[in-house]
Amino acid sequence: MRRTRFTHAALAVLLTLGAGLAAGATPASAGDSAAKAPASAGLLTAMQRDLNLSKAEAEERLTAERRATALEPKVRRAAGTSFGGTWFDATAGRLTVGLTPDATPATLRDVRATGAAVRTVTHSARELAATQARLDKLPAPGGVSSWHVDPEASTVVVNVVAGEQADNDVRQFTARAHRAGPVTVRHVSAAPRTLAAGTVGGDPYYTGNVRCSIGFSVYGGFITAGHCGQPSAAVYGWDRSYIGNFQGSSFPENDYAWVNVGSGWWTVPVVLGWGTVSDQLVRGSNVAPVGSSICRSGSTTHWHCGTVLAMNETVNYSQGAVRQMTKTSVCAEPGDSGGSFISGDQAQGVTSGGWGNCSGGGETWFQPVNEILNRYGLTLHTA
């Protein structure tokens, strides 16, 4: 970025990366990443604070999660039609795979040979995905917060705002949901909202009277949340100098966008620590499974960590539903929209919305990074 306000020791490194990695950098594989340090000191500090871990426990967890992330595609192939989903068991430090009762002895043997733990589940991942797809076609009232597949419970979870369960529209939705397939209704504290904010001086970018946060650098620009700006809208940096324009934006249904970078600004493969923690290099975008630790950087609340709670969740904002989101236990506040979600050194997605705050806690959703890259034909800028 142009005239950035990096004020910590990484300044010289970032300037070198900005000039030297603009061409020829390629995403690292999970194996390459595993050979490097598990995370920056700042990321480990944030995990210790938010997940109540010691430094050794945080390092051990990141290493185990990296193994689980690399293992997931192999497990999915080995399970075949009996595949019921995967999740990371933080207590055991290993990937767990659900297999339906019709799994053959050969399938069971092949899955166990990968090193993953095995659990019997009632429904296949395909059946649960089909149920969620049926729910996606239903009009959802405001009292219905979201819905997602829970592979460990082998059900589609419909989250209803506490106190709204007796509402006629909510009752009608949940009744239709139960008829769609295996569904469980749970109660949540509040409805989700997007996390854009009005103009506040000294933060990373503005469009109109909205302040949002940069997600991840891509070659030619950066990705962020779609609700932060419409296509062609001008974008200005923390110092109010012109950066570029929204080249693509989608919200609702999706919540992603990308902005071109020019006028003296440049991109770097870094998630900012905002002077609170060390900056984190981005080395790839391997997807962390449910149960993994994950951290978020945003212009309002800086670094916070938690765990991945669910994937492919449909979130029912007041502006409309957004599909294929990932839910986390990380807190966020207005102005954090668009900011980076990262697991170890692997980019995960851009902050969309949530409920609660970083004083009392809450939950936050992000749009997965690989979906954004694929949609716009972008390449993640990696170290």
Identify whether 289 is preceded by a cis peptide bond (ω within 30 of 0): no
Whether 227 is a known active-site residue: answer: yes
> Is the dihedral angle over the CA atoms 206, 207, 213, 215 positive or is it negative?
negative
Integer CA distances (angstroms), 265 to 132, 153, 337, in order: 42, 47, 21
3-state secondary structure of 195: coil
82, 154, 217, 227: the active-site residue: 227
3-state secondary structure of 96: strand
Number of H helices, E strands in the chain: 8, 23
How many other CB atoms sit within 10 Å of the CB of residue 340? 30
> Is the dihedral angle over the CA atoms 347, 351, 357, 361 positive or is it negative?
negative
Which one-letter amino acid corresponds to residue 11? Answer: L
Alpha helix locations (H) across the chain?
11-20, 30-34, 41-51, 55-79, 105-113, 125-136, 168-180, 369-376
50, 150, 203, 255: the active-site residue: 255
- Terminal alpha carbon distance of the chain: 16
Pairwise CA distance, residues 23 & 370, whole Å: 20
Half-sphere exposure of 299 toward its Cβ, with a 13 Å CA cutoff?
28
Which one-letter amino acid corresponds to residue 226? Answer: G
Whether 255 is a known active-site residue: answer: yes
33, 278, 293, 337: the active-site residue: 337
Residues with catalytic roles? 227, 255, 337
